[in-house]
Amino acid sequence: MNQDELEAALEGASNANKTVIIAVMNKAYTEGEKSMFDIFLDGFWLGEDTRQLKDHLLIVAVDQTAFERCMFLRLHCYRLKSDEGQDYYASEKLFLTVDFIKMMWLRTGFLRDVLRRGYNFVFTDTDVVWLRNPFPYLSLYEDVDLQASVDGFSGDQWAENYGINTGFYMIRSNNKTISLFDEWYDRRNNSTGKKEQDVMNDLIFEGAFRRLGLKHRLLDTNYFSGFCQDSKDVTLVTTVHANCCGSIKNKVNDLTSILRDWKTINDMIIVNKTAEFEWSKHVGYQNSLATVSFPTFSCRS
């Protein structure tokens, strides 16, 4: 696909404020009796006030099978090609492997292009289930440039020296954010062994946000939850991210439980018994912790 087709895809998915929801996927996320992509879309179908958001969802496919699956479902789709070859990124890329890191940088370069074209976006990993419309809980003030999820919330949404999780964030297109993405992407060849999120957090801790005059907000895990830190209030939770969890199989198992929990939550809210609710145990998450080290970013002095 050429750049004109990208512009058409963005224009087709964006709302009146030139804001689009973006998710990136590959063939591995379409495989299985119940795939990761199926679960991701189920969230939009089953969530509270989320169905209409699919009209503004752009699926970025990094291989042909993923693109064809997207087109079959009549979603907004874009085929992102790489220098490595047509289907180089089709298979599962395990956490922190060389190919995983390369795919994350491919994604970052694409998102920089979106910002340069003047589009705001909410980026969401496809292992994030949307249970409620998150936009009422995202600041719509134009002076907030970036709002990002965290693995663990400290209680201070404006903490400047605190690491973020790049699996879910909302960003505005302006000179500050474009400069940030330029610096971020330009470090890709000098950050061996680091995934793109690590490099973004290096920029935060080095004071890049303050230097650029960029205002960012940390998203409370009560609303924007994850396996690293579950929401404590099921009446507020909007998204659940399978963070701190390795392998698609583990994520699928645990996110399937989340959707099952969601149906239970809705029944309990009707009879006002949510105090009795507890999330199902994240078995895949626990299995992942036994085999992979997942750093939880926190405040640095």
- In this structure, the dihedral spanned by the alpha carbons of residues 109, 110, 112 and 113, taken in order and rounded to 10 degrees, is 120
H or E stretch including 111? helix 98-116
First-to-final CA distance of the chain: 45
pLDDT at 268 over 70: no
Question: Tell me, what amino acid is at 29?
Answer: Y
pLDDT at 207 over 90: yes
What is the sign of the dihedral through the CA atoms of 130, 244, 81 and 64?
A: negative
- Band (pLDDT 50/70/90 cuts) for residue 223 is very high
Say which residues have a Cβ less than 8 Å from residue 243's Cβ, sequence separation at least 6: 127, 151, 165, 167, 226, 227, 228, 294
pLDDT at 277 over 50: yes
pLDDT at 111 over 80: yes
Question: CB of 61 within 8 A of CB of 26?
Answer: yes
- pLDDT of 163: 93
Q: What is the C-alpha separation between 154 and 298, in angstroms, rounded? A: 8
What is the sign of the dihedral through the CA atoms of 71, 119, 164 and 205?
A: positive
Where residue 127 falls (left for φ over 0; alpha for ψ -120 to 50; beta otherwise) is alpha
Domains within the chain, CATH numbers bracketed:
3-218 (3.90.550), 225-289 (no CATH)
- At residue 59's C-alpha, the angle toward residues 54 and 61, to 5°, is 160
- pLDDT of 203: 95
Q: What is the C-alpha separation between 219 and 150, in angstroms, rounded? A: 7
In this structure, the number of other CB atoms found within 10 A of the CB of residue 58 comes to: 23
Average pLDDT, the chain: 85
- pLDDT of 99: 57
Rounded to an integer, the average pLDDT of 125-143 is 89
For 19-65, the pLDDT digits (tens) are 999 999 988 889 888 999 999 999 999 999 999 999 999 999 988 89
Q: What is the C-alpha separation between 198 and 69, in angstroms, rounded? A: 31
- Band (pLDDT 50/70/90 cuts) for residue 269 is low
- pLDDT of 94: 42
Rounded to an integer, the average pLDDT of 62-84 is 89
Only one residue has tokens 């060849």, namely 189
